[in-house]
Amino acid sequence: MSFCQSCGAAFADGATFCPTCSGRPQVMASPSTTNSGLQANTAGALAYLAGIITGILFLVIDPYKGDRFVRFHSFQSIFFNVAWIALWIAWTIVGLVLSAVTKGLFFFIQLPIDLLLMVGGFALWAFLMYSAYRGKMTKLPVIGTLAAKQAGI
């Protein structure tokens, strides 16, 4: 089974055009099994497991550091987690300032927004792991482009 390099959709071996993204003939090899027996799609999904730590780990471990699929997901995991931490720091500072200005009333607005951000971030993290496990290269808008550039895709 092969995967389209631009959209990540799976299609049969020997096909020259991707049926999903207007038939572009960009074909990427299917996730292969490395020397340790761990497939590239599993390693790509595991790159998201502990965020920055596993992203860096899969970038330095020998059988995976040469695989572009694993490198892409490792870089995207690192960039996603750095952006997520920066977002939470900025949102916490904004919340503290606005709570001080409104004498604590902003807390009642901030609490449901915090909950939505936490659930949304977890859902995005789980989706990225799932799509990596399926062999897709789902790119986040800015982060995915940076990750693809770093991975050489």
pLDDT of residue 27: 43
How much is the pTM? Answer: 0.74
Q: Is the pLDDT of residue 139 over 50?
A: yes
pLDDT at 28: 46
**Nearest residue to 30 via CA among 4, 7, 6, 2:** 2
Q: Which residue has the higher pLDDT, 44 or 13?
A: 44
Dist CA 133 CA 130 (whole Å) = 5
Give the residue-averaged pLDDT of 134-140.
93
Give pLDDT tens digits for 100-110: 999 889 989 99
Quote the CA–CA distance of 149 and 145 in Å, as a whole number: 6
Tens-place pLDDT, residues 2-23: 666 666 666 666 666 677 776 5
Strands (E) located in 17-138: 27-28
CA separation, residue 17 to residues 7, 22, 39, 99 (Å): 12, 8, 25, 55
**Residue range 88-107: mean pLDDT, rounded:** 92
For residue 62, what pLDDT is reported?
A: 86
The rounded percent of the chain whose pLDDT value lies above 90 is: 65
Query: Letter for the amino acid at 101?
Result: V
Provide the mean pLDDT of the chain.
85
Using one digit for the tens of pLDDT, what is the confidence trace for 49-71? 998 999 999 999 988 988 999 99
What are the boundaries of each domain within the chain? 40-143
